[in-house]
Structure 1
Amino acid sequence: MRNKQSAATLTRLLEHARYEVLPTATTEDKVLEHLPRDRTITVTASPAKGLDATFDLAERLAGHGYTAVPHIAARMVTGRTELSEIVDRLTGKGITSVFVPGGDAEAAGDYPDALALLEDLKDLGSPFSHVGITGYPESHPTIHDDLTVQSMWDKRRYATHIVSNLTFDPAVVKDWVRRLRTRGVAMPLLLGIPGPVERTKLLGMATKIGVGESTKFLAKNKGLFARLAAPGGFTGESFLEKCAPALGEDGALVEGLHVFTFNQIGETEAWRTDMLERLRNG
């Protein structure tokens, strides 16, 4: 039985949830069919599809009235000239928020990591009012935990918020939030969770599409995926309820959810609104 504080925390997180989508041919129609215009939608970047697919979809969604957040994967950008062109393109369409991961690709030019691109964004006049960076509650496959926290500290002058990668362990979330606070990383945090995706299809879809850090994490943690696929192995609602006490301790730091939809957009919005209704009705 959840207490009033946990219920309030869950309500706040769900009210401030944004959705990550993949730039496929059907995404725009799904968003228009299922999501109200007040939802924030982030659009992933894939080496296979290129940045144009990300920007095209983000621009169309912004044109429909959504807050669209394109991912600018640092390693997919060749250098400052291309970055300047990207800035002009996106700001010209009224886009004010971006997300800057390092990305899965080999570096195409001058940006071996997100920090290098963020530094150039600042030199270009900090053209975006909201700039998100990646956080790693789980261990990164190739980077030591202490270095990922240090990386967030290094990026604090260039970013406005952190978007956590997927995690499925409430204890990990609690420890990670504590470590961030202790290190002095005070940026607001959006907690990354998967939407109500059919677990038996999740890894196959993620590997096939091959976009972003979330799929990379799943592909490298197949044992964890097997537990998720088992009946009762994981549900977003149960996970959030277990996280709520820790997240409620510092509402200024954990301000909302970043939901990885894997393009099950209607199902994700139905899950969110249904849970919100039950929370509000006690």
Structure 2
Amino acid sequence: MRNKISNRQTLVRLLEQARYEVLPTASTEEKVLANVPRDVTVTVTASPGKGLEATFDLAERLTGHGYAVVPHVAARMVRDRAELAEICDRLTGKGISRVFVPGGDAEAAGDYPDALSLLEDLGELGRPFAQVGITGYPESHPTIHDDLTVQSMWDKRRYATHVVSNLTFDPDVIRDWVHRMRGRGITMPLLLGIPGPVERTKLLAMATKIGVGESTRFLAKHKGTFARLAAPGGFTGERFLEKCAPTLGEPTALVEGLHVFTFNQIAETEAWRQDLLSRLR
């Protein structure tokens, strides 16, 4: 009984600290305003097809509405340190103090072949952002060996404040990865990446409309994951979270919250979160 209570408390804490990843489309601002409380952090993806301008424009507008917003600054989409300095001035000038720095799917536009090289330049520019997130890979990366993805987090630890995990549907994978990461000495807090409730036809339409970007790349690279998400009835993650709760509740795991990939099914995601919170409390 004590374990069940502890697991419930863990899930409530993580759901209360959930943040939503959204895609910068024409309707996103309206959906966020209509459905997302101001105390929920919103992250805005970057994709080669839309460019960084769409990401920053939406981030600035949502910040103006009172949200804490985390724009993705995809390293390979930034030309050089001069452009990076302009981006920093632009975002901080609008009150944005958090960014997420992935490598990105685009071919390198200039001086940054990976996230670490851009993070190093952010350091040289005086660390203008209070919070800087980096990617973690519980599942094997399609092109990078597991040892290198863990080493990469270690290399970035001097420049980042937290890790955001990519998706997996296997609680055992999460347990082993968290233990391995912490055993390696990576002590940054973790946000666990999970999908929100996904309805098949909407997911397919969104994937077609957006293309393979920061939050949809696994649809092309991980067919098994796509099959799980696109199955009739969708996927909410509730059972997955319940199975992960013992790991997520470990003090040494340092899991601070959830990073929910909404695929712009924003109303459905917030309804799911509120419903689950009401049943757990």
Partner Cα separation in structure 1 for residue 234 and residue 182 of structure 2: 30
Partner Cα separation in structure 1 for residue 146 and residue 209 of structure 2: 28
Residue 19 of structure 1 aligns to which amino acid in structure 2? Y
Cα contact 2:247–2:253 (8 A) shared by 1:
no
1:97 corresponding residue in structure 2 = 98
Q: Secondary structure at the match of 1:257?
A: strand
Q: Which runs of structure 2 are paired with 1:247-258 in the superposition (5 Å)?
A: 247-250=248-251, 253-258=254-259
Q: Report the Cα offset of residue 252 of structure 1.
A: 5.9
Large movers: runs of 4+ above 6 Å: none
Number of equivalenced pairs: 280
Q: Report the Cα offset of residue 205 of structure 1.
A: 2.6
Residue 37 of structure 1 aligns to which amino acid in structure 2? R
Partner Cα separation in structure 1 for residue 139 and residue 277 of structure 2: 27
1:67 corresponding residue in structure 2 = 68
Q: Secondary structure at the match of 1:32?
A: helix
Partner Cα separation in structure 2 for residue 187 and residue 237 of structure 1: 25
2:169 corresponding residue in structure 1 = 168
Cα contact 2:212–2:220 (8 A) shared by 1:
no
Taking structure 1 as reference, are residues 278 and 262 closer, same or farther at Cα in structure 2, changes over 3 Å only? Answer: same
TM-score w.r.t. structure 1 length?
0.95
Which is further off, 47-56 or 244-253? 244-253
Q: Which runs of structure 2 are paired with 1:37-76 in the superposition (5 Å)?
A: 37-76=38-77
Q: Which runs of structure 2 are paired with 1:126-165 in the superposition (5 Å)?
A: 126-165=127-166
2:28 corresponding residue in structure 1 = 27
2:110 corresponding residue in structure 1 = 109
Residue 215 of structure 1 aligns to which amino acid in structure 2? T
Residue 143 of structure 2 aligns to which amino acid in structure 1? T
Partner Cα separation in structure 2 for residue 240 and residue 89 of structure 1: 37
Confirm or deny that 1:182 pairs with 2:206: no
TM-score w.r.t. structure 2 length?
0.95
Residue 193 of structure 2 aligns to which amino acid in structure 1? G
Partner Cα separation in structure 1 for residue 150 and residue 54 of structure 2: 31
Partner Cα separation in structure 1 for residue 234 and residue 60 of structure 2: 37
Cα contact 1:44–1:211 (8 A) shared by 2:
no
Taking structure 1 as reference, are residues 211 and 131 closer, same or farther at Cα in structure 2, changes over 3 Å only? Answer: farther
Deviations 1:29-79 (A, max 9, x none): 001111111110000001111101000000000000000110000000000
Q: Which runs of structure 2 are paired with 1:160-239 in the superposition (5 Å)?
A: 160-203=161-204, 205-231=206-232, 234-239=235-240
Partner Cα separation in structure 1 for residue 99 and residue 35 of structure 2: 23
Q: Report the Cα offset of residue 197 of structure 1.
A: 1.2
Partner Cα separation in structure 2 for residue 9 and residue 179 of structure 1: 21
Confirm or deny that 1:87 pairs with 2:108: no
Deviations 1:69-122 (A, max 9, x none): 100000000000000000000000000000000000000000000000000000
Q: Which runs of 5+ in 1 are unaligned?
A: none
Taking structure 1 as reference, are residues 252 and 182 closer, same or farther at Cα in structure 2, changes over 3 Å only? Answer: closer
Which is further off, 84-93 or 229-238? 229-238
Partner Cα separation in structure 1 for residue 28 and residue 203 of structure 2: 17
Which is further off, 240-249 or 201-210? 201-210
Q: Report the Cα offset of residue 219 of structure 1.
A: 1.3
Cα contact 1:13–1:255 (8 A) shared by 2:
yes
1:268 corresponding residue in structure 2 = 269
